[in-house]
Structures are given as structure tokens and as C-alpha cells.
Amino acid sequence: MNKLDTALVGSALKEAGFSLTGSEKEADVVLINTCSVREHAEQRVLSHLGHLKHIKKTRPDMVVGVIGCMAQRLGDKLLEHKAVNIVCGPAQIPQITELITEALQQKKKTLAVTENIRKTAEEQNETLEEFESAYGIEDEQIPGQAFVRVMRGCDNFCAYCIVPYVRGPAVCRPPEAIIEQIKKLPGQGVKQVTLLGQTVNSYKFKSGERTYCLADLLDMASGIEGIEWVKFVTSYPSEEFFDEILQVMADSPKVCNYLHLPAQSGSDKILRAMNRHYSSRWYLELLAGARAVVPDIAIAGDFIVGFPGESEDDFQATVDLVKKARYKNAFIFKYSPRPGTRLWRAGGELQDDVAPEVKQKRNIELLAVQEKVSDELNRAFLGKEVKILVEGLSKKPHLNAADKADNPQLVGRTATDYIVVFNGPPSLAGQFAKATIKRTSPLTLFGKLT
Ligand code: SAM
Ligand code: SF4
């Protein structure tokens, strides 16, 4: 979501005549797009702002803007920071060029956030829709790929989560606008489109007599010439439209067999406290059902360890779930109390009763359990040929030198989201390639171009 907002803002600024630079030393304007999901992310922004305050001592005309969730959450408190000129929430990004132009000319501080985010006005949604449709076609952060938001916000109110309070209520975008946007992408070299939403499987839009669900969007997107792979994230474990989505995955070769379905915990007591509306047994049945319809489906999960009240037994229930779920990979987070969430309102920081060292120990233990599963799943690829959409140069080329033909190390992903590293010409970025897997590690498949 955040990367998409960064790309939208970048496109809007380019169109308004700004040019982008990666260096703060050269920049007249520095924008920081922020996330509020965990405290650590916000702390990093604050330390970055400390650094910018220092730079501004010698360059007082530099304009610094904070955009995104942290801007919405902290509002005027953030504007008080010496380094900050603009605070702009996620719903105000369509105004970003105006806000910057004003700040450059008038040297004043500006706050643009939504006062009551849970009551987002219709007009605001229309402005966001126009902005998204206009600038959502230039998203080339990863060659050959684009991300298209199909729904904004969330209505689920998981007890730990800040998203509903900084992104507002769930609003589904009209299918025509989404499909029109995707149709323009192949002309820009895009081969894979990922549909985005916090509970993307619950996408629903009534248009005339017809109600569109995510399966319809997947079907329509995969019918567009030039779009070869269609993915979607993140799904919420619910029955809503689940069968339809799996069916389109099974039927359409373009809809990738990949499902990101966070469970968060394996303990039913903790799931209830999290306000997640399923049990671990039901969740595992859902996975079994998915595998029955799409046998080679790759499933990824998210977990929070050290949630308030999580006992060792609760944690072991999570370990057990991870062993049974056989995820391709799982993202594991230590619980981070967030002001404003349901849990915070029920008792603030006092609720955070699992000691940091226990969270750390559980994090490491769960990672090790998942690593063993990932290692087994990855080994099954040995000697097999896979199709990859190449992303570009590997971020860790030092782990594997260039080959005899001087080809650097590239990285890409399969349709089922497995990461593949191999030597090849950089011109492959954004293209499909095939490689035979020669070696594996728990995180990566190492291949040779075929
Ligand atoms: N909508 C998705 C879902 O329901 O799973 C995920 C949204 S959230 C931005 C991404 C992940 O961050 C969640 O799956 C959860 O594991 C983690 N997360 C959210 N709030 C958290 C918190 N307060 N502390 C630690 N992890 C958190
Ligand atoms: Fe947060 Fe839950 Fe909504 Fe996901 S479903 S964004 S975890 S409130």
C-alpha cells in the first residue's frame, strides 16, 4: 500500500514539473511516506527527521513533508517538529503538489489530514478515485510489475491494528475504473499486476443489477492482452467469496496460485482477543479446502508473537499451526502496542504484558519452525525448471559473483512468489525467463538460465 502511494505521489509530482532525486543533498523538497503499523517504523521516521533538522540548519529553505499513516495519526503534533513543513494524511495525497508549491513559496507550515477518518466524506473518496485513476498507470518501481488498489481502508478492527484509524473505512473502487487502469499497463511494459486491499478477498461492488467480487476482477484482469500474471494481497480468513476466488485460480492460467492469508495466531483464545473471527481449526480447514481446489497453491502467512495474554501454551499452539499450515513463508512480528487501537483503548501500554525477551525468543523459535518448512518446500524444486518474472539486479550480489560471461546476479519471482536468484544479463529486468534450480536455501532458489 505504502509503496503504491509513493509511486502515485512520484507520478503526480513528475507531471507537475518536479524531477525526482534519490539524494537529500540535492533535494529542495524531501517527502517521507510513513507507516504506523508498528512503533519501530515510526521511530525510524522520527530519527530521520532529526537528521533533516540538522541539514535544515544550513539549508533552511528545504521543504520537508511527512505523508501517510503517521501523518494522519499524529497530525499537528508532528507539525510541531522543527524539521517538518507539511503533514499530509493518506486521504490528502491528491493535494500534495499544491501543498508543496505553497510551502516553497510561502514558507509556512501546513496540516492536511482528515478530522474524523471513520466518517470519510463521499467527496474525499471521489478525489482519491480521480487521483488513483490518473496516476496509477505509471507505477514502475519494479520493472514489468504494477500494483493496483482495489479497496481502501478496513472495517475489521483487529484489536492490535491501527489501519482502520489511519486509512478509514473500507471502500471498494468501481470495477470499471480498476479495469481501465489495468488496460493501460501493458503499454508501459507491465506483465504482472497485483490487486491490493487490506481484506482483498472481501472486495464487493454493486453496479446496476450486478455485484462484482474479487473473482470477477481477477477474471477480467486476466482477460486483458499483455497481462500475463495476476496476483492479489492480502486476504482475510473468511468464507466470503473464497470458493469463487479459488475457482478462478484453478481455471485461469494467468491468475497466480499464490495466497497471502495471515492467521496471526494459532491459539483460539488469542484469536478471540485479537477480534479475528475464526478458530485455528477452521483456518486449517480453509487451507485444506484451498489445496483441494488448487493443489500447487503457495500460501504465505503473518503472525504476531507476544500478543497481550499470550502464554507459552498459546504460543505453542501457534508453533503447531505453522507446522501444519506448511507456508511458503511467514512474516513474524513482535506485538507492538499502538495508541488508538481497540486494545490500547482498553488499557494502553499496561496491556503489553509479554516481556520483550520472551517476544524475542518466540520470534526466533517461530522463524526456525517456518525455516524448516520453507527449506523442505524449496528443496522440492531441485532440478526443476521454473518460469520467473525478472525484477532486476539481486540486492545481495556479493553472495554470488558474476559468471564467466560476466553476467551479474539477478533476482525474480515465480508465479507462486518463490524468490529465484540466477546469473543473467540485466536487460532481462521486467521480462520472463526460465531457470533450472541447482541449489536451494530456506529463503531462496538458486537457478541457472535455460
Ligand atoms: N490486512 C492484513 C491482515 O488482516 O492480515 C494485514 C495488514 S497489517 C498492515 C500487516 C501485518 O502487520 C499484519 O498481518 C500483522 O501481522 C502485523 N501487525 C499489525 N498490527 C501490528 C501490531 N500492533 N504489532 C505487531 N504487528 C502488527
Ligand atoms: Fe488491520 Fe485486521 Fe484490517 Fe488487517 S484486517 S488491516 S490486521 S484491522
pLDDT digits (tens, 9 = 90+) for 395-408: 876 666 777 678 89
In this model, does residue 196 exceed pLDDT 60? yes
Per the CB < 8 A criterion, the answer to whether 72 and 113 are in contact is yes
Confidence of residue 266 (pLDDT cuts 50, 70, 90): very high
Q: Is the CB of 63 under 6 A from ligand 1?
A: no
In this structure, which residue's CA is closest to atom 6 in ligand 1?
A: 198
Grid coordinates of 182: 489495468
**Average pLDDT of the residues in 414-428:** 96
In this structure, which residue's CA is closest to atom 4 in ligand 2?
A: 198
Specify burial of residue 383 (Cβ count, 10 A radius: 0-12, 13-18, 19+): exposed
CA of 161 to the centre of ligand 1 (A): 6
SS3 assignment, position 342: helix
In this model, does residue 138 exceed pLDDT 80? no
Per the CB < 8 A criterion, the answer to whether 417 and 258 are in contact is yes
Pocket test for ligand 2, best of 161, 199, 336 (most atoms within 8 A of CB): 161
pLDDT at 108: 85
Q: Is the CB of 38 under 6 A from ligand 1?
A: yes
CA of 391 to the centre of ligand 2 (A): 29
pLDDT at 302: 98
Pocket test for ligand 1, best of 333, 342, 352, 359 (most atoms within 8 A of CB): 333
87, 198, 371 from 109: Cα distances, Å: 8, 32, 48
CA of 290 to the centre of ligand 2 (A): 22
Q: Is the CB of 49 under 6 A from ligand 2?
A: no
Q: Is the CB of 338 under 6 A from ligand 1?
A: yes
pLDDT at 3: 83
* Ligand lying nearest the CA atom of residue 333: 1
Q: Which residues contact 63 (CB under 8 A, 6 or more apart)?
A: 28, 29, 30, 85, 86, 100, 103, 104
In this model, does residue 139 exceed pLDDT 60? no
In this structure, which residue's CA is closest to atom 14 in ligand 1?
A: 302
Q: What is the pLDDT of residues 18-44, one digit of tens each?
A: 998 888 888 999 999 999 999 999 999
Q: Is the CB of 74 under 6 A from ligand 1?
A: no
Query: For 101-108, which contacts have Cβ atoms below 8 Å and span 24 or more sequence positions?
Result: 101/16, 103/29, 103/63, 103/65, 104/28, 104/29, 104/63, 107/61
Report the atom number in ligand 2 closest to the C-alpha of 37.
Answer: 1
Q: For the chain, give the percent of residues with pLDDT over 70.
A: 98
pLDDT at 137: 67
In this model, does residue 279 exceed pLDDT 70? yes
Report the atom number in ligand 2 closest to the C-alpha of 198.
Answer: 6
Question: With left for phi above 0 and alpha for psi between -120 and 50, is residue 74 left, alpha or beta?
Answer: alpha
pLDDT at 400: 65
CA of 53 to the centre of ligand 1 (A): 31
CA of 220 to the centre of ligand 2 (A): 26
**Average pLDDT of the residues in 192-198:** 96
Considering only 96-100, 398-402, 435-439, which range has the smallest mean pLDDT? Answer: 398-402
More confident residue, 233 or 399: 233
Confidence of residue 135 (pLDDT cuts 50, 70, 90): confident
In this structure, which residue's CA is closest to atom 2 in ligand 1?
A: 198
Pocket test for ligand 2, best of 158, 162, 166, 307 (most atoms within 8 A of CB): 158
Considering only 11-25, 28-42, 125-139, 435-449, which range has the smallest mean pLDDT? Answer: 125-139
Rounded CA-CA distance 365/326 in Å is: 16
Q: Is the CB of 156 under 6 A from ligand 2?
A: yes
What are the helix and strand counts (H, E) for the chain?
15, 19
Residue among 428, 437, 438 nearest 394 (CA): 428
Q: What is the pLDDT of residues 283-326, one digit of tens each?
A: 999 999 999 999 999 999 999 999 999 999 999 999 999 999 99
